[in-house]
């Protein structure tokens, strides 16, 4: 402590003040007064040294505490629950420690999620790639029948389209997760949104002889992003088309009230098992009734898009009675 320049200057100043005061007391008063002033000054200096030494020890403890934090130890509690600036500083450091601990926990969770995502993506890509490699080897056989050659070529094309869709979907999801997507806040006509979303599924519905029933007032609107919301609705409709039997119906209805605008999409499929419902929007999750070509990413993307716009989506399903998706966009962002 005494090697500290600020402390040295402080002690020198105090001693000079004491000497000057003692000399002045000797000149203008008596020797006894000078001795009393000098003794009082020395006591004050000694008290200041003791107090300063104590504060330096407390600061040294805080320094050691910060070093332990930098080494990853977030379990120490430095608070003393007293009054004063030093206690306030300890409390603030503890708050920062808690914040750093939470951030570290989030980072660890993100690492686990990233590892799991990479593992899931690798698994999803491995199956079509392996299939294409086998068929490519078979195509190299010059004696292969032309009908088989055409079949393998078509299968490779289908697998490539599947990989292209998967990669495109993952890129969109990664942009949403990273917060780099800027969602617009336009007045969106729900009728126009539905007309845009059903276009990609009209052919699959026609092949399966499915009918689409749309009900709702033309004037219903909400504030959101038309393009991205259509992307979410397309994925929900694809799921409904996949699970609705041949000749079945898909129902879309929409309405609004002073609180929110709601879009409901219902199919006539087999329904989702009760144990699968809590996980239906989880990325890469495939329920018991999922198709063989299902990747488990469409509904996860729809969920991310809708919730990123302060909306809600929930699913209601009963075995043998179909599945119904409820999408809500609130008129004012919730706090």
DSSP 277: G
CATH number of 113-178: 1.10.287.130
**Confidence category of residue 251, pLDDT binned at 50, 70, 90:** very high
104-141 confidence digits (pLDDT tens): 777 787 777 667 667 767 766 777 788 888 888 888 88
In eight-state DSSP terms, residue 245 is P
Q: What is the mean pLDDT of residues 51-71?
A: 76
pLDDT score for 335:
39
Q: Could you tell me which residues come within 8 angstroms of residue 60 by beta carbon, excluding any fewer than 6 positions away?
A: none
CATH numeric code, 186-330: 3.30.565.10
Per the structure block, which two tokens stand in for 310? 């302060």
Record the pTM.
0.61
User: What number is the average pLDDT over the span 57-80?
Assistant: 73
Mean pLDDT of 10-35: 79
Residue 334 pLDDT class (50, 70, 90 cuts): very low
* pLDDT at position 288: 62
3-state secondary structure of 87: helix
- Sign (positive or negative) of CA dihedral 160, 163, 167, 170: positive
The larger pLDDT score, comparing residue 327 to residue 298, is at 327
pLDDT higher at 87 or 202:
202
Q: What mean pLDDT value characterizes the chain?
A: 82
Domain spans, the chain: 5-101, 113-178, 186-330
């Amino acid at each position: 402590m005494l090697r500290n320049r600020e402390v040295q200057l402080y002690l020198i100043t105090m001693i000079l003040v004491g000497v000057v005061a003692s000399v002045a007391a000797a000149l203008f008063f008596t020797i006894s007064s000078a001795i009393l002033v000098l003794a009082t000054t020395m006591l004050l200096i000694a008290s200041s040294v003791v107090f300063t030494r104590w504060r330096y020890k407390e600061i040294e403890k805080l320094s050691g505490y910060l070093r332990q934090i930098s080494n990853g130890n977030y379990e120490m509690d430095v608070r003393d629950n007293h009054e004063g600036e030093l206690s306030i500083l300890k409390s603030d450091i503890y708050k920062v420690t808690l914040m750093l601990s939470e951030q570290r926990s989030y980072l660890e969770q993100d690492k686990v999620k990233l590892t799991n995502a990479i593992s899931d993506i690798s698994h999803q890509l491995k199956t079509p790639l392996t299939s294409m490699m086998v068929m490519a080897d078979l195509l190299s056989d010059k004696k292969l029948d032309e009908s088989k050659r055409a079949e393998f070529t078509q299968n490779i094309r289908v697998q490539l389209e599947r990989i292209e869709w998967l990669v495109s979907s993952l890129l969109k999801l990664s942009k949403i997760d990273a917060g780099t997507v800027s969602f617009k806040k336009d007045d969106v006509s729900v009728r126009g949104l539905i007309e845009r979303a059903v276009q990609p599924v009209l052919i699959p519905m026609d092949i399966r002889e499915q009918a689409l029933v749309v009900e709702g007032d033309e004037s219903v609107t909400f504030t959101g992003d038309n393009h991205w919301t259509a992307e979410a609705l397309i994925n929900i409709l694809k799921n409904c088309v996949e699970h609705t039997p041949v000749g079945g119906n898909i129902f879309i209805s929409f309405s609004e009230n002073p609180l929110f605008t709601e879009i409901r999409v219902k199919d006539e499929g087999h329904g989702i098992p009760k144990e699968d419902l809590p996980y239906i929007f989880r990325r890469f999750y495939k329920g018991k009734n999922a198709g063989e070509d299902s990747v488990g990413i469409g509904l996860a993307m729809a969920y991310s898009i809708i919730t990123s716009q302060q909306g809600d989506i929930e699913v209601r399903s009963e075995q043998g009675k179909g599945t119904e998706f409820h999408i809500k966009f609130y008129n004012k962002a919730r706090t």
